[in-house]
Amino acid sequence: MTIKPPCLEPGDRIGIIAPAGPVDRDEIRPAIEFLHQKGYKILSSRNLYRKKGYLAGSDDARLDDLMSMFANKSVKAIFCARGGYGSSRLLDRIDYDLIKKNPKIIAGYSDITALLFAIFRNTGLVTFHGPVLRDPGPWGRKNLNSLLKLLALKAPFEINLFGGDVIREGQVRGIIIGGNLSLICSLAGTPFMPRTRRAILFIEDKCEPLYRIDRMMNHLRLSGILEGLSGIIAGSFTGCGDMRDIKRILRDVSSGTGIPVVSGLPAGHDGKNMAIPIGIHADLDTKGMRLSFSEAGVT
Give the residue numbers annotated as catalytic, written as ranges: 110, 204, 269
Q: What are phi and psi of 237, to 5 degrees?
A: -125, 75
Cross-strand bridge partners of residue 106 = 78
Distance CA 42, CA 29 (A): 11
Residue 180: its H or E element:
strand 171-180
Burial readout 258-294 (b: 16 or more C-beta within 10 A, e: otherwise): ebbbbbbbbbbbbebbbbbbbbbebbbbbeebbbbbe
Q: How far is CA 184 from the centre of its chain?
A: 11
The count of C-alpha atoms lying within 13 angstroms of the C-alpha of 91, restricted to the half-sphere facing its C-beta, is 25
Distance CA 97, CA 122 (A): 9
Give yes or no for a contact between 42 and 13, defined as CB atoms under 8 angstroms apart: yes
Task: Name which of 114, 39, 21 is nearest 76 in CA terms.
Answer: 39
Cross-strand bridge partners of residue 205 = 237
| CB atoms near residue 39 (< 10 Å) | 11
Distance CA 55, CA 19 (A): 8
